[in-house]
């Protein structure tokens, strides 16, 4: 008598083999899908930023690494009220498709008013739609005969139309063309559900980047127009302001008549205001040249001690008016450097002038010059103007407004915030550096270091 277990054993082995083959097939399909998703991720993370290029690369990647016969991406254009083809992918076996049909695929649009069109339905209802005929959604613009011939040439059994969203709004549809050999591939059907989200993220990121690029170009153009306006306005203001200043000076110093004290005081105030306005105009011109890369350094060898002495002599009068102790430490030996004499004179005037502005009455300022083998060093220290650490980075920004108590407590004039910005630019154009530190007891210290042969 035959043992039943012996008879059933080959059958069991066959079933096990079939099950293993099925599992291996499923595993292979899963791996293929994971590889495809990885390649799409690489496209999304690549340096390509144009939305049409990214969409085209993704579509071609899907076609080359899947069983899909076709993949179309249509994007909604709300302003025109149409669905526009963004990317089209067809299998290489599509030699029978004419160039005219390709042209329709890539350029044909579908009006959102065609409410019976499955593509429009899918976008409005936000639901996946299955269609058996290409002509159901692409005729027009393609004729039914051409659409049917194309579908037959590609061997497509059905189309899956899947809407996708960006920022919770309908953005378009992705159309997958499936052949008969795909009907039983469950994992690829799952992929159809996953891909729209991945693709929508890629398109959304690309569109956002394009918008940022466009906004940046507009900002650059506005900045250029602003600089041009500032430059022209400053030039136009400087000539009449210089004339006004000259007439006021002549009224104060060259008049044959003795001026009434009140009139003389008012003219003096007007003269001072005109000087400040001219300084502002000059600063705006300088900034326009710096940012337009038009500021040129006129380098020459000169004695830095001389322009330092001149800056000290010009500003010590203002220090005396505020009863500020103004100490000037200058070496006896001349310090010769190569640089733009007038620009570095402006640096000295800005740094010392800034110290005078924020030093309280009966305060103290020290101005020290020194040198080593390769560098010129100068330092300005002023008492009583502590700047908190969080405010220090603002010092060299245009139009800065520091939130420091000294500006209110001592009625210090509010500056434009241009002087220190210009100073930093000039120093760096000389390959130098400028640093600032502030201490509640010692005050504020500006240190500038410039190569002697810059």
> How many CA atoms lie less than 13 Å away from 371 in the CB half-sphere?
18
| Residue 12 reports pLDDT greater than 50 | yes
Which positions ≥6 away from 235 have C-beta within 8 Å? 285
Give ranges for CATH 1.10.287 in the chain.
214-291
Domain 214-291 has CATH 1.10.287: yes
Q: CATH: 3.30.450.40, 3.20.20.70, 3.30.420.240, 3.40.50.150. Which one for 4-207? A: 3.30.450.40
| Residue 412 reports pLDDT greater than 60 | no
Q: Give the SS3 label for residue 414.
A: coil
Q: How is 16-70 classified by DSSP, letter by letter?
A: HHHHHHHHHHHHHHHHHHHHHHHHHHHHHTSS---HHHHHHHHHHHHHHTSS-SE
Length of the chain: 454
**Top-level class of domain 299-451:** alpha beta
Give ranges for CATH 3.30.565.10 in the chain.
299-451
Tens of pLDDT, residues 248-294:
888 888 877 788 888 888 888 888 888 888 888 888 888 878 877 88
Predicted local confidence at residue 403, as pLDDT: 59
Backbone angles phi, psi at 422, to 5 degrees: -60, -40
| Residue 185 reports pLDDT greater than 60 | no
| Residue 237 reports pLDDT greater than 90 | no
Strand intervals (E) in 318-360: 325-329, 336-340
pLDDT band with cut points at 50, 70 and 90 for residue 187: low
> How far is Cα 301 from Cα 307, in angstroms, rounded to an integer?
12
Predicted local confidence at residue 448, as pLDDT: 94
Largest CA distance in the chain: 148
Among 275, 449, 426, 299, CA closest to 371: 449
Residues 394/414, Cβ–Cβ less than 8 Å: no
The mean pLDDT value of the chain amounts to 82
Rounded average pLDDT over 307-323 = 89
Strand partners, 75: 84, 172
| Residue 62 reports pLDDT greater than 50 | yes
Helix (H) / strand (E) containing 166: strand 158-166
Helix 304-321 vs helix 341-358: crossing angle, to nearest 10? 20
pLDDT band with cut points at 50, 70 and 90 for residue 3: low
Give ranges for CATH 3.30.450.40 in the chain.
4-207
Predicted local confidence at residue 238, as pLDDT: 74
Predicted local confidence at residue 305, as pLDDT: 93
Please give the structure tokens belonging to residue 68: 């899909």
Predicted local confidence at residue 88, as pLDDT: 85
pLDDT band with cut points at 50, 70 and 90 for residue 369: very high
Rounded average pLDDT over 193-202 = 84
Among 347, 351, 359, 350, CA closest to 320: 359
Predicted local confidence at residue 302, as pLDDT: 94
Predicted local confidence at residue 10, as pLDDT: 64
**pLDDT > 70: what percent of the chain?**
85
Q: Give the SS3 label for residue 362.
A: coil
pTM value? 0.53
pLDDT band with cut points at 50, 70 and 90 for residue 227: confident
């Amino acid at each position: 008598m035959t043992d039943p277990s012996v008879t059933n054993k080959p059958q069991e082995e066959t079933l096990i083999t079939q099950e293993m083959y099925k599992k291996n097939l499923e595993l292979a399909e899963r791996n293929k899908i994971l590889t495809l998703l990885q390649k799409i991720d690489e496209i999304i993370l690549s340096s390509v930023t144009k939305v049409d290029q990214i969409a085209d690369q993704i579509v071609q990647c899907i076609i080359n690494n899947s069983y899909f016969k076709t993949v179309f991406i249509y994007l909604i254009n709300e302003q025109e009220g149409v669905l526009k083809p963004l990317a089209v992918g067809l299998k290489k076996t599509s030699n029978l498709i004419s160039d005219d049909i390709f042209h329709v695929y890539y350029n044909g649009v579908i009006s959102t008013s065609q409410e019976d069109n499955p593509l429009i339905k899918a976008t409005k209802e936000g639901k996946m739609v299955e269609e058996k005929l290409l002509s159901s959604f692409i005729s027009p613009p393609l004729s039914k005969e051409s659409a049917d011939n194309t579908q037959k040439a590609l061997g497509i059994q059905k189309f899956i139309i899947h809407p996708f969203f960006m920022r919770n709004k309908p953005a378009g549809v992705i159309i997958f063309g499936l052949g008969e050999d795909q009907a039983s591939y469950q994992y690829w059907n799952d992929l159809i559900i996953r891909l729209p989200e991945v693709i929508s993220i890629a398109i959304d990121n690309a569109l956002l980047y394009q918008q940022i690029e466009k906004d940046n170009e507009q900002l650059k153009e506005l900045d250029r127009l602003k600089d041009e306006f500032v430059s022209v306005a400053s030039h136009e203001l400087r000539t009449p302001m210089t004339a006004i200043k000259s007439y006021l000076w002549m009224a104060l110093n060259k008049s044959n008549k003795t001026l009434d004290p009140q009139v003389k005081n008012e003219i003096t105030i007007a003269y001072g205001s005109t000087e400040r306005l001219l300084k502002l105009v000059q600063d705006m011109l300088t900034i326009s040249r710096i940012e337009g890369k038009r500021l040129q350094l006129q380098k020459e060898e000169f004695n830095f001690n001389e322009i330092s002495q001149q800056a000290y002599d010009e500003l010590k009068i203002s220090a005396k008016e505020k009863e500020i102790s103004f100490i000037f430490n200058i070496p006896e030996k001349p310090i010769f450097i190569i640089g733009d004499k007038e620009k570095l004179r402006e640096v000295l005037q800005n740094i010392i002038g800034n110290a005078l502005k924020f030093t309280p009455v009966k305060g103290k300022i020290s101005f020290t010059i020194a040198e080593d083998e390769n560098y010129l060093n100068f330092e300005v220290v002023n008492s009583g103007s502590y700047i908190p650490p969080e405010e220090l980075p603002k010092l060299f920004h245009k139009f800065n407004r520091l939130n420091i108590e000294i500006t209110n407590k001592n009625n210090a004039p509010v500056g434009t915030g241009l002087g220190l910005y210009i100073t930093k630019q000039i120093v760096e154009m000389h390959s130098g550096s400028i640093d600032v530190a502030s201490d509640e007891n010692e005050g504020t210290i500006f240190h500038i270091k410039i190569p002697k042969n810059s």
